[in-house]
Amino acid sequence: MSFFSDATLARFEREAAKYPAEQRQSAVMACLSIIQQEQGHVSQAAEVALAAVLGMAPIAVHEVTTFYNMYNQQPVGRYKLNVCTNLPCQLREGQTALDHVCKRLGVEPYGSTTDGVFTVQPSECLGACADAPVMLVNDREMLSFMREERLDELLAMCAAEAATATAKSGQ
């Protein structure tokens, strides 16, 4: 039995079909995104199984997973907060922003809150250095000028959304 469902394998094949047959491994990033979308993170078992699907070495898949910090190698919280701590942001309160979020949530960098709502990670340059401090939420939403007040607003909003979702799922 395959590690992946038939529906997932079909999604992989749609990505692989975008490349010449002998270059199907070019679809590795898209396939990793599919795995993460469906499973929340990319496990080593998933990497090995994907390598077999694309006809490449497991270590080559692992190199991609570990190069880009959008791929989660462990389960993450409902909100994954990446705070840029690259040099230009460091010079404009990037580290202060990361420290503030960690302190507010009671976690270390790369840690998750025990309720599973937040994961906090430092990140490399997000390409908006003039807007420092900059952060990315769930690998999708870029937020600029995230000083303490705005960070507190964000954390409160996310916590409220998570509480509402939990209440709805318990109904």
Give the shortest CB-109-to-ligand FES separation in angstroms: 15
For ligand FES, which stretch binds (CB under 6 A), given 26-34, 42-50, 110-118, 121-129? 121-129
Give the shortest CB-167-to-ligand FES separation in angstroms: 36
Q: Judged by CB under 6 A, does residue 137 bind ligand FES?
A: no
Q: Which of 35, 138, 36 is nearest to 79 (CA)?
A: 138
CA distances, 115 to each of 3, 62, 125, 151, 159 (Å): 29, 29, 29, 19, 10
Residue type, 117: V
Q: Where are the beta strands (DSSP E) in the chain?
A: 79-84, 118-123, 135-137, 141-143
Q: Judged by CB under 6 A, does residue 132 bind ligand FES?
A: yes
Our separate counts of H helices and E strands in the chain read 7, 4
Give the shortest CB-132-to-ligand FES separation in angstroms: 6
Q: Judged by CB under 6 A, does residue 128 bind ligand FES?
A: yes
Residue of 42, 76, 126, 136 interacting with ligand FES (CB under 6 A):
126
Q: Which residues bind ligand FES (CB under 6 A)?
A: 84, 86, 88-89, 94, 125-129, 132, 134
